[in-house]
Amino acid sequence: MSDTLEKVQAIVVEHLGVEAEKVSASASFIEDLGADSLDTVELVMAFEEEFGIEIPDDAAESILSVGDAISFIDSVKK
């Protein structure tokens, strides 16, 4: 398991109160993990904080799943 996946999972578990095993790369925040639109804003803020990056609003809008988040974070970290 990648370092990014592990950290993203931990953030999602904490903010959405879901079980860790449900937080797979393909899981959609809203459809699979029960988030609402405000939760997704907060998740993006938590990713920014954890990884020390900035996620612009247009990029944030395309981050719909755990996998989307990991790809974006890894792309800016490189």
- DSSP-derived letter for residue 28 is B
* CB of residue 16 to another protein, shortest distance in Å: 7
Q: Whose Cβ is closer to another protein: residue 17's or residue 52's?
A: 17
* CB of residue 2 to another protein, shortest distance in Å: 25
Q: Which of 3, 32, 36, 68 is catalytic?
A: 36
Q: Do the Cβ atoms of 15 and 43 come closer than 8 Å? A: yes
Element (H, E) at 51: helix 37-51
Per the annotation, the verdict on 58 as an active-site residue is no
Binding residues vs another protein (CB under 8 A): 14-17, 38-39, 41-42, 45, 48, 54
Element (H, E) at 64: none
